[in-house]
A = this chain, B = another copy of it.
Amino acid sequence: MKKIDKMTPEEVRALIRKGEWQKPTSGLAMGYAQANLVVLPKKYAFDFLLFCQRNPKPCPLLEVLEAGKYITETLAAGADITTDIPLYNVYKKGKLESTIQNIKDIWQDDFITFLLGCSYSFEEALLKVKVPVRHIEEKKNVSMYLTNIACMQAGTFKGPLVVSMRPIPENLVVKAVQITSRYAAVHGSPVHIGNPSEIGIEDIYKPDFGDVPTIRAKEVPVFWACGVTPQAAVMEVKPDICITHAPGHMFISDTLNEELASM
């Protein structure tokens, strides 16, 4: 059999669908966009869609499926949202209830599926032009922080902007801004460069999520809007049920990262 890291997105999804891959998707189907998953009952859907419209940097929508639909059309033709993600987190009233391999048995006709862009896409773009990405080098999780920047509220959805931080060599900061600006569909340009306290981060070595960063001499902390933002906003609302991908266990699309870049 072909090694998994040489497989096409469709081949990887087929493996996942059969329950033969329940691990993180980082490094798989390189070049193709991976997406965050949020599934909510219809009664929450307008407000959440509006939250994403109002906060496009942390919540870059790539595809939304209508009530009850679980087959993708845009990001991939014919992928199945109920089976094609390695692991799902099921939350009830904002609390994690279970982590499961497929959601076929708990699927509801009023479920609306949101697929959101993730930072893997712009990280690949940074690496291509030789801007180093520390947490990838160190095989760690990116450092993430709550900020003092409030998202725009929509209905009951609200909360602080969560950011991820990558230490960038001083002489590559401009290039990092330029490259990621092209990827508005996957968080886009940084939201802040430099002084962490300016956005309410007291100690850069105490991230709220992810691993402690290594920041070297002549490196500047650069902050991007993070996909944890909408997840945190959803949990605050404590919906009856909400399903997301388990962290790192993303939806692998047929869409090239490069297709998501603005022209």
Contacts and interface: CB of A to CB of B under 8 A. Distances in A.
A201 interface: no
Interface string A143-161: 0000000001011000000
A181 B263 CA distance: 7
A186 to B, nearest CB: 15
Nearest to A49: B49
Contacts of A53: 49, 53, 61, 64
Nearest to A50: B64
Interface in A176-199: 181, 184, 189
Contacts of A61: 53
Contact-residue bracket for chain A? 10 to 19
Contacts of A46: 42, 45-46, 49
Contacts of A152: 74
A38 to B, nearest CB: 14
A161 B193 CA distance: 40
A175 interface: no
A54 interface: yes
A262 B49 contact: no
Contacts of A189: 263
Contacts of A74: 54, 152
Interface in A127-173: 152, 154-155
A54 B64 contact: yes
A66 interface: yes
10 contacts: A42-B46, A46-B46, A49-B53, A50-B64, A53-B53, A53-B61, A54-B64, A181-B263, A184-B184, A189-B263
